[in-house]
Structures are given as structure tokens and as C-alpha cells.
Amino acid sequence: MLDKLQKYAPIISFLLLASLVVALFFSPHSARLLSTIIIVFGIGTAILFTVHGNWETKKNDELTNAQFALNAAIDLLGLALIILSAMWLGRMAGGYVDSVFANLTGIIVAMIVGAAVAFAVQKVWGKSQNR
């Protein structure tokens, strides 16, 4: 079941994001509910895939229980850093624009910041893991 979710999660996320952008212009009141659904789906799948990836490594007897817990905790802290920085800076950028484009600007900035922070966290975690 998780294999199907991994296969279709990017498509589902893209369709939810596209529907959010459309809802921003045609039905702003429903955009709040749709954004809540997107956040819950996105964070839920990110946590699930993070823990599952570490669990697969542990199942192959490459990690002890303590190493599994440490790796999962560090990965989840990195994920929290990415999500919080994207939300904070996206909201800040959206606050500077005074129109319908404020939400769209916030979404775009949050995506860019999230990708940049994810890249930085991956580089730092990769370097600390190699030591």
C-alpha cells in the first residue's frame, strides 16, 4: 500500500496545489479548507515516508534501535525546520502584498523557501552522516 502512495503522492500533491490556486481566484472561502487538507496530507506523507525510510534501513539490520530512533528524530527535526521556515517566510511575503495575489505570493515564496531549506538540510545532514 505504501508503494502506491509513494507512486501517486506527487501527482496528488500537484493536483491539490493546482486546485488551491484555482480556488484562490474563484472561491476564496473554500481555499482555507483546501489549504488545511493540503497541509495535513503533505505533512502526514512527509512524516510517514521519513519514518518508513528509516524503518526499511533498520529492517535490513543496518541500524540498531537507538540509531533508528536518532536518525528518525534528526530527519523529523529537519522536516520541521523546512516546514516552519516555509510557513513563516511564505506568510511574511504574503503579508506584504495587498490583493488576491497575496495568497499566491505566499504559496510561491513558501515553495521556494521550502526547497532551499530542504536542500540546505540535506547537505548538512549528508555531511554530518558521513563523519
Give me the long-range contacts of 54-62 (CB less than 8 A, separation at least 24).
none
Beta carbons within 8 Å of 58's beta carbon, 6+ residues apart? 65, 67, 68
What pTM did the predictor assign?
A: 0.69
Length of the chain: 131
pLDDT tens column, 4-35: 777 887 888 888 888 888 887 788 777 778 87
Specify the pLDDT at position 128: 55
pLDDT tens column, 51-86: 888 888 888 877 788 888 888 888 888 888 888 888
Type of residue found at 49: F
Q: Can you give the three-state secondary structure of the chain, one letter per residue? A: CHHHHHHHHHHHHHHHHHHHHHHHHHCHHHHHHHHHHHHHHHHHHHHHHHHHHHHHHHHCCCCCHHHHHHHHHHHHHHHHHHHHHHHHHHHHHHHHCCCCHHHHHHHHHHHHHHHHHHHHHHHHHHHHHCC
